[in-house]
Amino acid sequence: MEKFMSIEKMYYRLHQAMSKPEERGEYSSGYWQYLVRQTAQDMCAMQKGRLLEVGCGEGLFLAGLIKAFPGLEIFGVDQWDEALSKSERRLNQLRPGVTLRRADASDLPFEDAFFDKVVCINVFLNMDSIAKVSSSLNEIARVCKKGSRIIFDIRNSLNPFLVVKYKLAKYYDATSRNLNLSTYKPAEIRVILKNAGFEIVRERPLFFPLKPMAPIIMFEGVKK
């Protein structure tokens, strides 16, 4: 047990060192999480319209969007009340009145065809099954307008090092002990997107140049 504690301390120190200074101490901090957020922002290229982040956490991504695209109408949902409170405080400093709601990804409190873009990042890795991912993507499709876009990421089960890392996470990362850390096959995700009514327009690998082995793959789809 003492050995595991020392590994946990080493991991925590490394995690803190690699996190952005302004994000340290937040549950959503971390180098991988930050790079996913930055990549999603680069993929947005959106100056106006309604954008929803599913799983907005403490508002780190939405805060960046408000700064980059001040013309956007911003919405966020999350299941975690504490994270929503942090998000509200962070976003109100930039733009008071951003719409934030407590909701599950598979049951969004918005009408059909309401959004011009939906972003769901650093979220699917905490879902316990591909069925949950499928129901969430179908619900996202419901609230998307025709021609609107979705941006999300998966942790890739074809990367063996990532699979082992997540299986061992309980020994070095206390924040993951009560959570699922799930990986998915890109082929499964492509089928789900197609069935949900999306056409994939971009797949972007992160942390490895060859997409089949990349630990993280970003997807962008357009609603048909």
Please give the average per-residue pLDDT across 167-193, as a whole number: 81
CA-based max dimension of the chain: 55
The answer, yes or no, to whether residue 91 has pLDDT greater than 60, is yes
Rounded to an integer, what distance in angstroms lies between the CA atom of residue 170 and that of residue 160? Answer: 17
For the ranges 91-95, 134-138, 159-163, the lowest mean pLDDT is seen at: 159-163
Please give the average per-residue pLDDT across 175-189, as a whole number: 82
Comparing CA positions, the residue from 110, 130, 125 lying closest to residue 217 is 125
Query: What size, in residues, is the chain?
Result: 224
* pLDDT for res 172: 62
CATH superfamily of 2-223: Vaccinia Virus protein VP39 (3.40.50.150)
Domain ranges of the chain: 2-223
Containing 102, the helix (H) or strand (E) segment is strand 99-102
Tokens (6 digits) for 85: 């409170």
Please give the average per-residue pLDDT across 181-185, as a whole number: 94
* pLDDT for res 118: 98
11 confidence band (pLDDT: 50, 70, 90): very low
Residue-wise pLDDT tens digits, 37-52: 999 999 998 778 999 9
Instruction: Give 120's strand partners.
Output: 152
* pLDDT for res 136: 98
Residue-wise pLDDT tens digits, 107-158: 999 999 999 999 999 999 999 899 999 999 999 999 999 999 999 999 999 9
For the ranges 57-71, 137-151, 165-179, the lowest mean pLDDT is seen at: 165-179
The gap from C-alpha 212 to its chain's centroid, in whole angstroms, comes to 20
Residue type, 142: R
Please give the average per-residue pLDDT across 74-92, as a whole number: 96
Average pLDDT value for the chain: 88
Tokens (6 digits) for 33: 């999480």
* pLDDT for res 19: 60
Please give the average per-residue pLDDT across 158-176, as a whole number: 78
The answer, yes or no, to whether residue 3 has pLDDT greater than 80, is no
Residue with more model confidence, 186 or 17: 186
